[in-house]
Amino acid sequence: MKTTEKHLHEPLFHITRRTDISAAKAWMIRLLAILAALIVCALVIVTITDYNPLQVYVKMFEGSFSSERKIMMLLQNIAMLLCISLAVTPAFKMRFWNLGAEGQVLVGGLASAACMFYAGDSMPSPLLILVMLVTSILSGVIWGLIPAFFKSFWGTNESLFTLMMNYVAMQLVAFCIMVWVPSGSNVMGIINQNSQSGWLPELFGQKYLINILIVAVLTVVMFVYLKYSKQGYEIAVVGESENTARYVGINVKKVIMRTMVISGGICGLAGFLLVSGTNHTVSKELAGGMGFTAIMVSWLAKFNPLMMVLTSFLIVFLQRGASEIATAFRLNESVSDILTGIIIFFIIGCEFFINYKINKKSKKKEAVA
């Protein structure tokens, strides 16, 4: 009979979950994945262009490291991506799918820009920066708290809610720019270009250093908060099981809202850093998709803030390398995006081999059949 016949055929391989992989072996797999990715990328490069892949890789490296300016830009980009990743992490650890980082960053940035625009001439710069910092964080908090409030009290779906808040934030930015710059193509341009009022100052001649330092401190704080504080523990418990949390006497509503206050607040801070310390302007593209890339950074690092330094470095390094090879070889940016895609695919894919083991069909059983 057909069914029994089928039963006799054991699949070529089957998958089991690994429970005890050593750190060394895990890293070995990751290294192999990167090597494999580079080989596949080389094949792609050879097939669609006639460049030497090694040359391309050298250029990719140069995109981040060939000058002091590039190194600072690399660090600045890492800092911003890391900051937003840190923001989404507590929410994700709590299994609250905050897809609204983009919007929370935008309203934070918008608040900063509004302060610069309206109070640029009437306040001394240090005071203005303080006001900007506070309003930005508050705006981010409000933007994060709204979906958390609805989720806690009425059980609304937070993924959709936070996602939609992004579009509201975008339109809000577009609207404000239209009010501030009545004739134009919805471009704000540098605010207070001559007075530099509300700009984060240079530190030791480096204009991004303050951003980088703030995020560095934040990374350590977030690591400690999640790992050693009582609140961090509560987040983990709520994430694992809301019922358990309730059973042990954790006020779940309170934890959800408190965590989103933190998440939104840090996004607001990121918006402040992007406006005051980086762009000195606001636009719909202020966050530039980082609100979503941050989710990947956070997941890849398994919500460990210190590991996120590494994963955000990886993403930024690839992005910068991609745009460098696009310029150096006159490749369309899409080509370099393909390469970045391949590398990220392998890196994410290799986690499968770290978590699962592939068992081949054993000969012994075949003999029995």
Partner 1 sequence: MKKIICALLAVVMVLAFAACGNTDTASKGGEKDKVLSISEIEKTVATAMEKVEKANLKIGLICLHDENSTYDNNFIQALKEVQQELGLTNDQVLIKTGIAESDACYNAAAEFADAGCQIVFADSFGHETYMIQAAKEFPKVQFCHATGTRSQIELVSNYHNAFATIYEGRYLAGVAAGMKLKEMIDSGKITADKAVIGYVGAFNYAEVVSGMTSFFLGARSICPSATMKVTYTNSWFDIAKEKEAALNLINSGCVLISQHADSEGAPKACEEKGVPNVAYNISTIPMGPNTAIISSKIDWAPYFKQIINAALEGGTIPTDFCGTLENGSVKLTELNTKVAAPGTQEKIDEIKAKLISGEVKVFDTKTFTVGGKELSTYTADIVDKGDFVPDSEAIKDGTFAESSDRSAPYFDIKYIDGISE
> Under the rule (CB under 8 A), what is the footprint of partner 1?
67, 69-70, 73, 124-126, 129, 174, 181-187, 189-190, 193-197, 199-203, 210, 213-214, 217, 220-221, 224, 228-229, 278-281, 283, 285-286, 288, 323, 326-327, 330, 332-334
Neighbours of 157 (CB within 10 A): 12
Report, in Å, the least distance between residue 159 CB and partner 1: 24
| Contact in structure between 235 and 226 (CB atoms under 8 Å) | yes
| CA pair distance 110, 228, nearest whole angstrom | 34
Cα separation, 357 vs 28, whole angstroms = 15
Nearer Cβ to partner 1 (186/241): 186
Name the residue nearer to partner 1 (CB basis): 28 or 190: 190
Closest separation between CB of residue 175 and partner 1, Å? 11
- Burial level of 337, CB count in 10 A (0-12/13-18/19+)? middle
Least gap, CB of 105 to partner 1 (angstroms):
13
Q: How far is the CB of 312 from partner 1 (least distance, A)?
A: 18
| φ, ψ at 359 (rounded to 5°) | -100, 125
Burial of 221 (C-beta count, 10 Å sphere; 0-12/13-18/19+): middle
Q: How far is the CB of 118 from partner 1 (least distance, A)?
A: 15
CA angle 56, 59, 63 (to 5 degrees): 140
Nearer Cβ to partner 1 (210/256): 210
Q: In degrees rounded to 5, what are phi and psi of residue 49?
A: -135, 170
Dihedral sign, Cα of residue 174, residue 178, residue 179, residue 184: positive
Q: How far is the CB of 58 from partner 1 (least distance, A)?
A: 15
Q: Which is nearer to partner 1, 144 or 232 (CB)?
A: 232
Nearer to partner 1, 214 or 342 (CB): 214
The vertex-212 CA angle with 210 and 218, nearest 5°, equals 100
Quote the tokens at residue 159.
């993924």
Cross-strand pairs, 16: 357
Q: C-beta of 80: minimal distance to partner 1 in Å? A: 10
Q: Helix, strand, or coil here: 202? A: coil
- In the complex with partner 1, the residue whose CB is nearer, 220 or 358, is 220
Query: Shortest Cβ distance from residue 137 to partner 1 (Å)?
Result: 12
Question: Which of 255, 331 has the CB closer to partner 1?
Answer: 331
Amino acid at 260: M
Is the distance from CB of 249 to CB of 260 less than 8 angstroms? no
Q: CB-wise, 42 or 72, nearer to partner 1?
A: 72
